[in-house]
Amino acid sequence: MVKAYAITADAVAAERARVNDDLDKVDISRVVALDTLELPEVGPTDVHLRILAVSAEHNVDHAALADTVNITQLRGGKIYPGNSAVGEVLAVGREVTRFKPGDIAVTHCIGEPDPYGYPLRIWAYDQPESTGWYGEEAVVGEWQLIAAPLDCGLSFWEIAALPLRAPTAYHLWRRAYGIYRVKVPREHRATINVLGFGGGVSELFLMLAKHEGHNAYFCSGSPERRAALEELGITGIDQKAFNRFASRDDVKAFSGQVKKLTGGVGMHVVCDMLRGPVFPAGVACAAREGVNVSAGWQLSKSIQYDSAGASVKQLTLDHTHYETLIGCTAATELYGTVFKPTIHKEIYAFEDLPRAMHEMHLNTQTGIPIIRVANDLPASVAAIA
Ligand SMILES: NC(=O)c1ccc[n+]([C@@H]2O[C@H](COP(=O)([O-])OP(=O)(O)OC[C@H]3O[C@@H](n4cnc5c(N)ncnc54)[C@H](OP(=O)(O)O)[C@@H]3O)[C@@H](O)[C@H]2O)c1
């Protein structure tokens, strides 16, 4: 038995009743609660991990709000969330070849791959029977782990920010860029304009674009997060100056600003992740032959658009979910060289994980939120913590 956080359908329902279904008033820290979890036996292909640190991820927010689907109810009334972690290997099954006790590993969040390696479902979310890593220890399959690149130049906390968000960004970028290149080859245009709207995944997406020599723009409401990206040469655009696109006039003003910034051309690639009012702004500012890509639906699950307008502009909308197994390993190669995440100024203690989740929900954090799970860190990790 280990301590692990859980979300129950009863807690979701009780919180919804308390706030009369007004999701703006939900207190996530009343829904995510410390529980216990019985670990399974370590099978021949399994790895027993001691969790060292985790990042707060938005799927926990969606699970606690039950705003996209009521995943806790669909999973039988209780889930153990947490699908981004860094851990120390305690023991391995007899057929495990890539890890030994003492190694440090990062996770990916694929629950079960399809024949091409893409996730059919996500671990600790909709993958049946999966239990997450917001706990002291876990037993996982070897296939779920990637060696942590401790010598990549990032601090341990920065590394802990990346296991879920970096592969998401890596996949979004290679898909969006590849699609754009089908339409406009390098022969015709070398440098493209790339826009991302606020959020940890978008920040990493823009780091990829910038690293490959493109013009990158970050439209966010957070001055701290814009400032961090400006240091990497990524131009900030204040989303709040356009009232977060509350009206058509705001979208028009934003589109005008983008035209000014890009010499009248617009954005060749846009990473959305939020949908809702952000989607029309991303479409309005797109360049001809542009690509609008998203793996998220934080503000709305549905979108509406003018299909004729998109055709005339040769605009492509692409929906991604998460990287393939192989792609997750490739994304991990880029820790430190390309991915330099901004992390929230407080490293939360394990007992403060519910507060970290709530502050993520309130959007008051200055970077990706990290929770320290283990008090004592192995020497290799302590050296970069
Ligand atoms: N498919 C996948 O594998 C996958 C992976 C990761 C994430 N996601 C999804 O993608 C979405 C974003 O994830 P993330 O990890 O990038 O999130 P994140 O780091 O928690 O950032 C969320 C961002 O949302 C922005 N925001 C909050 N309220 C807003 C509003 N009313 N209007 C406009 N922007 C608002 C904030 O940006 P500013 O305040 O800076 O503007 C904030 O930084 C979530 O829905 C998440 O579940 C999917």
Per-residue pLDDT of the chain (385 residues; tens, 9 = 90+): 999 999 999 999 999 999 999 999 999 999 999 999 999 999 999 999 999 999 999 999 999 999 889 999 999 999 999 999 999 999 999 999 999 999 999 999 999 999 999 999 999 999 999 999 999 999 999 999 999 999 999 999 999 999 999 999 999 999 999 999 999 999 999 999 999 998 999 999 999 999 999 999 999 999 999 999 999 999 999 999 999 999 999 999 999 999 999 999 999 999 999 999 999 999 999 999 999 999 999 999 999 999 999 999 999 999 999 999 999 999 999 999 999 999 999 999 999 999 999 999 999 999 999 999 999 999 999 999 9
Q: Whose CA is closest to 297, among 65, 39, 8, 21?
A: 65
**Contact (Cβ atoms closer than 8 angstroms) between residue 123 and residue 81:** no
In the CATH hierarchy, which fold is given to the domain comprising 167-319? Rossmann fold (3.40.50)
Q: How far apart are the first and last CA of the chain?
A: 28
Q: From the CB of 274, is ligand 1 less than 6 Å away?
A: yes
Q: From the CB of 342, is ligand 1 less than 6 Å away?
A: no
Ligand 1 midpoint to CA 95 (Å): 39
Atom of ligand 1 nearest to the CA of 165: 6
Q: From the CB of 205, is ligand 1 less than 6 Å away?
A: no
Q: Whose CA is closest to 28, among 383, 381, 352?
A: 352
Q: From the CB of 81, is ligand 1 less than 6 Å away?
A: no
For 9, 27, 62, 76, the CA distances from 73, given in Å and listed in that order, are: 5, 19, 13, 5
Q: From the CB of 296, is ligand 1 less than 6 Å away?
A: yes
CA distance 377 to 375: 6
For 76, 218, 238, the CA distances from 249, given in Å and listed in that order, are: 45, 20, 16
CA distance 206 to 283: 18
Pocket test for ligand 1, best of 270, 271, 273 (most atoms within 8 A of CB): 273
Local structure of residue 142 (DSSP, 8 states): G
Q: From the CB of 236, is ligand 1 less than 6 Å away?
A: no
Ligand 1 midpoint to CA 58 (Å): 7
**Contact (Cβ atoms closer than 8 angstroms) between residue 319 and residue 86:** no
> Which CATH number is 2-161+341-382 given?
3.90.180.10
How many C-alpha atoms does 222 have within 13 Å on its Cβ side?
19
Q: Which residue has the tokens 């036996």?
A: 41
- Is 302 exposed, middle or buried (CB count within 10 Å of its CB: 0-12, 13-18, 19+)? exposed
Q: So where are the chain's domains?
A: 2-161+341-382, 167-319
Q: Which two tokens stand for residue 271?
A: 């990473």
- Local structure of 208: helix, strand or coil: helix
CA distance 203 to 189: 24
Enumerate residues 6+ apart whose C-beta is below 8 A from 23: 65, 67
Enumerate residues 6+ apart whose C-beta is below 8 A from 321: 118, 119, 122, 295
Residue nearest atom 33 in ligand 1 by C-alpha distance: 244
